Amino acid sequence: MSEFSTIILAAGKGTRMNSPLPKVLHPVAGWPMIRRVIEGAKQAGSKENRVVLGFGEQLVRPVVEGLGGVCFRQQNQWGTADAVRAAQPESLEGLVVILNGDHPLIEAADIQGFVESFLKGSAALAVVSCELKKPAHYGRIVRHKDRVQAIVEAKDASHETLKIREVNTGLYVVRAELLNELLPQIQSHNAQNEFYLTDLVSLAVQKGLEVEAIKARPEVAFGVNSQSELAKATQKVFRRKAEALMAEGVILIDPSQTYIEDQVEVGSGSVIYPGAFILGQSRIGRFCVLEPNVFVQSTEIADSVRVKAGSYLEDSKVGESSQLGPYAHLRPQSELGKQTKIGNFVELKKTKMGDRSQASHLAYLGDSEIGEDTNIGCGVITCNYAVDKKKYKTKIGRGVFVGSDSQFIAPVEIGDGAVIGSGSTITKDVPAGALAVARGRQRNIEDYKSRPSGASTSAEKKKGD
Ligand code: UD1
Ligand code: MG
C-alpha cells in the first residue's frame, strides 16, 4: 500500500445545524464527527492528516491535535478549493486524499479502497462518486461517452444535468504535484462566487488527462448538515456495531434500540435488552444479561453477570457471576468481586467489595473496603463526608454481618467476623469477632394506652423524658 496524506475540510459553519457547537464537533455515537474521519484516515495508513479549520477553530483545534491531526486555518470560507489551498499542499508529496470533516460514516476500508483503485487505474485524478435516488444538492458527475468530463454543482446545473444521479461525494485522490498545478487555476465564476474544488476535474480534462470516478457506498456520500442527518448518522453507527456484535453471537433483543459504542467488547452468549447504553471502553463478558435501560460507561463486567433493569454503572469493575439492580448505581472506582450481589437502590462509590459479599437493599457505601462473605443490611450508610469537607474511609472485614439501618462514621474499621447490631451508629473501631451495638436501649412502658392521652407520669418527667 502506497503512502498518502489527507486534507480534511472542516472550516464550514454548518449553518443548518442551528447549534452553537461547530458542526464537526457534534457527536456521532459518542465521537465528534471529525474524530471518525481522522481515525478512519489513520487506520487506513495515512502518514499525515491536515485539517482545515475556520468556524469555531479554537474549539475544534484541541480535538484535532489530540488525535495527531495538523491544523490549518482558512481565513474566509471562500469555497472548497480555497480550503484545500489553506492546507498548504505545496509542502505535500505523493498521494493526497481529500476528505470532508462532516462525512462521519466513512471507514478506513473505504479510504484504502479509493487509494488502491487510484493506483490500479491510469487516471491522474480520481473523484469518489455515488449513485443516489435523490441527488438533491450534490454536484453531478457529467460524462461524455462514459468518460468523466466535469462536476457541475446543483446550483449551476441545467434542468438536464440535474437529472444525473451519479454525484460527487466531495472526496478525491490526486498526486500532490497535479493538485498544486491545478489549484491556482481555479476561478470563482459560478453561482456562489466560490472557488470550487470540483473544477479540478474540468481542468484536468482540458489538459488531456484522464479522470476516474470511483464508486462508493452511499454512506460515504452521507454528509451531515442538519440535526436530523446527525441523528441518522448516529443510528447508522449504532446499528453497524449491533450487527457486528450479533455476528459474533451476542443476543440483542432489539438492535434498533441498543446503543453500543464502537470500542465496547461483548462476549458471545450475552443478552442485551432494549434501551441499554454501553459506552466508552466497557467490556462485557460472556453469558451476561443486561436488562432494559441499563447505562454502562467504561466498566468491565466479567462473565455471567446479571445487571437488572435501570442500573447505572460508571468506571467500575464487576466480578464473575455477580448480580446488580434493579436500579443499582456504581459510581467511579468501584470494584466488585465474584458472586457479589448489589440490590435495588444501592449506591457504591470508590468501594471495593470482596467475593460473595452483598448489599441487597437501599444502601450507600462510599470510600469503603469490604471483605469477602460480608452482609451489608438494608439501609446501611457509610458517612464518608465529614464537616471538615474531607472524605474518610470505612473498612469492613470478611464475614462481617452489618445489621440494617446502621451507619459508619468514617474513619472506622470493623474486624473480621464482627456483628453490628441493627440501627447502630458506629463511631469507633470494632475488633474482630465482636458484637457492636450502638443505639438507644429499648424501654417498654406498660399499660401506656390506658392512661389519659399523651400524659406521662411525674416520675417519667423527672427522668427527663
Ligand atoms: C461539495 C461539492 C459537491 C459535493 C458535496 C458533497 C464543491 C464546490 N462542491 O458541496 O460537488 O457533491 O460537497 O458533500 O466542492 N469547506 C471549507 N471551507 C469552505 C467551504 C467548505 O472548509 O470555504 C468544507 C466544509 O466544512 C465541508 C466541505 O468543505 O466539510 C464541503 O463543503 P460544503 O459547503 O458542504 O460543500 P457542498 O456545497 O456540500
Ligand atoms: Mg456539504
Could you give the CA distance from residue 103 to residue 98 in angstroms, rounded to a whole number? 12
Does the pLDDT of residue 462 top 70, yes or no? Answer: no
Specify the ligand 1 atom closest to the Cα of 23.
26
Amino acid at position 11, single letter:
A
Ligand 2 centroid – CA 225 distance (Å)? 7
Nearest alpha carbon to residue 223 among 16, 81, 31: 16
Ligand 1 nearest atom to the CA of residue 138, by list position: 12
- Non-local CB neighbours of 377 within 8 Å, separated by 6+ positions: 363, 401, 402, 403, 404, 405, 406, 422
Q: Are 99 and 7 in contact (CB under 8 A)?
A: yes
> In the prediction, which pLDDT does 2 show?
73
- Grid cell digits, residue 427: 463511631
Give the chain's largest Cα–Cα span.
Answer: 115
With 0-12 / 13-18 / 19 or more C-beta atoms within 10 angstroms meaning exposed / middle / buried, residue 52 is buried
Return the ligand 1 atom nearest residue 53 CA: 22
Asked if residue 87 lies in contact with residue 72, where contact means CB atoms within 8 angstroms, the answer is yes
Ligand 1 atom showing the smallest separation from residue 81 Cα: 15
pLDDT of residue 297: 98
**If you take atom 21 of ligand 1, which residue's CA is the nearest one?**
80
In this prediction, residue 465 has a pLDDT band, given cuts at 50, 70 and 90, of very low
Ligand 1 centroid, distance to 299 Cα (angstroms): 39
12 within 8 A of 52, measured Cβ to Cβ: no
Domains and CATH numbers, the chain: 4-221 (3.90.550.10), 227-436 (2.160.10.10)
How many angstroms separate the alpha carbon of residue 136 from the centre of ligand 2?
11
In b/e form, how buried is each residue of 61-91, taking b as 16+ CB within 10 angstroms? eebbeebebebbebeebbbbbbbbbbbebee
- Starting from the CA of residue 12, give the closest ligand: 1
Active-site annotation, residues: 361
| Residue 212, H or E segment | strand 211-215
Q: Given this model, what pLDDT does residue 13 score?
A: 84
Q: Please report the pLDDT score of residue 464 as a whole number.
A: 45
What would the grid cell of residue 106 be? 466513512
Q: How many angstroms does the Cα of residue 64 sit away from the middle of ligand 2?
A: 20
Residue 76 CA: nearest ligand 1 atom is 23
- Closest ligand to C-alpha of residue 169 is 1
Percent of all residues in the chain with a pLDDT value above 90, rounded to a whole number: 94
DSSP-derived secondary structure letter, 54: B
Q: Are 340 and 366 in contact (CB under 8 A)?
A: no
Check residue 451 and give its pLDDT: 83
Ligand that comes closest to the CA of residue 23: 1
In the block, cell 447549534 appears at: 19
pTM of the model: 0.91
In whole angstroms, give the CA distance from residue 57 to residue 39.
Answer: 19
And the C-alpha cell for 103? 462525512
pLDDT digits (tens, 9 = 90+) for 312-349: 999 999 999 999 999 999 999 999 999 999 999 999 99
pLDDT average, residue stretch 102-112: 97
Mean pLDDT, to the nearest integer, of 1-29?
Answer: 92
Kindly tell me if the per-residue pLDDT of 459 is higher than 80: no
Q: What is the pLDDT of residue 454?
A: 55
Calpha distance 229→28 (Å, rounded): 10
Which residue's alpha carbon is nearest to atom 3 within ligand 1?
A: 139
When pLDDT is averaged across residues 439-462 and rounded to a whole number, the result is: 76
pLDDT at 114: 97
332 Cα–ligand 1 center, Å: 42
What stretches of 331-391 adopt beta strand conformation (E)? 335-336, 341-349, 352-353, 358-366, 368-370, 375-376, 381-383
| Ligand number with the minimum distance to the CA of 80 | 1
* CA Rg value for the chain: 32
Cα angle 319, 432, 332; round to 5: 30
> pLDDT for 243-283, tens place per residue?
999 999 999 999 999 999 999 999 999 999 999 999 999 99
Residue 23, pLDDT above cutoff 60: yes
d(CA 271, CA 460): 63
423 DSSP β-pair partners? none
List pocket residues of ligand 1, CB cut-off 6 Å: 9-12, 52, 54, 74, 77-80, 82-83, 100-102, 138-139, 151, 153, 167-170, 196-198, 223
Q: Report residue 55 as a C-alpha cell.
A: 468556524
Q: Model confidence over 173-226: pLDDT tens digits?
A: 999 999 999 999 999 999 999 999 999 999 999 999 999 999 999 999 999 999
- Residue of minimum CA distance from atom 17 in ligand 1: 11
Report, as an integer, the average pLDDT of 60-64.
98
pLDDT at 455: 54
Residue of the nearest CA to atom 5 in ligand 1? 170
Distance separating alpha carbons of residues 49 and 98, to the nearest angstrom:
10
Ligand 2 centroid to residue 221 C-alpha, Å: 10
Per-residue pLDDT of 32-47, as tens digits, reads 999 999 999 999 999 9
- Closest residue by Cα to atom 25, ligand 1, is 12
Which residue from 33, 50, 80 has its CB within 8 A of the most atoms of ligand 1, so it is best to mutate? 80
How far does residue 406's CA lie from ligand 2's centre (Å)? 61
Residue 154 has pLDDT above 60, yes or no: yes
Query: What does the pLDDT average to over 391-403?
Result: 98
Which ligand 1 atom sits nearest the alpha carbon of residue 77?
A: 23
